[in-house]
Amino acid sequence: MKQGIHPENYRPVVFKDMSADHAFLVSSTVKTSETIEWEDGNTYPLVKLEISDKSHPFFTGKQKMLDSAGRVERFKKKYGKKD
């Protein structure tokens, strides 16, 4: 590896999706003051997430379809060409 270009605190960190109760361990330089005991018995820094691939609607297939017909008509009425 090239010396002097990598961050000093590159270490394993647990990211936990609080809405889906899903956690994963990856290497990161993120700063956090919380810790968690992982499945292997070691303690790692913890970063709490609001959303991940386990809870995001795109990945779960539970997307909400919005009725945009009214919105489009309001937009055209407000910003459309005047006759």
Q: Which ranges of the chain does DSSP label H, i.e. alpha helix?
A: 57-60, 69-79
Sheet holding 22-28, edge to edge: 22-28, 11-17, 43-49, 35-37
Neighbours of 63 (CB within 10 A): 10
Length in residues, the chain: 83
DSSP state of 71: H
pLDDT (0 to 100) of residue 23: 92
Q: What is the pLDDT along the chain (83 residues), one digit of tens a residue?
A: 688 887 778 899 999 988 888 899 999 999 999 999 999 999 999 999 887 767 766 555 665 555 556 777 788 888 887 66
